[in-house]
């Protein structure tokens, strides 16, 4: 199963707005995606509640996994999103 390890770039971690953007992007993929912190249990990336319960703060290392046609592209896209500081992008958009 393809995986990507990525460090959370948002300065406030994967919560509220960054989590919402990630969950929306995961839902738009053509393959099911799961996310986990370290060796923890993987949860559906399309579940806001599940993603929030991971408690992934700034600098936390998470693992994304997906399977099926298009999995590699989906993981690349989502990993790039998580690596960005989505909080800073929101501040610059204001």
Query: Residues with catalytic annotation?
Result: 15
Q: Which residues pair with 69 in a beta bridge?
A: none
Instruction: Record the tokens describing residue 63, joined without a space.
Output: 């693992």
Neighbours of 49 (CB within 10 A): 10
Name the residue among 55, 74, 52 with its Cα closest to residue 65. Answer: 74
């Amino acid at each position: 199963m393809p995986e990507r390890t990525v460090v959370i770039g948002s300065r406030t971690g994967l919560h509220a707005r960054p989590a919402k953007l990630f969950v929306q992007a995961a839902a738009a993929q053509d393959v099911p995606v799961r996310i986990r912190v370290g060796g923890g249990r993987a949860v559906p990336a399309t579940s806001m509640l599940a993603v929030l319960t991971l408690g992934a703060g700034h600098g936390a290392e998470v693992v994304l996994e997906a399977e099926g046609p298009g999995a590699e592209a989906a993981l690349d896209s989502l990993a790039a999103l998580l690596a960005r500081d989505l909080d800073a992008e929101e501040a610059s958009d204001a």
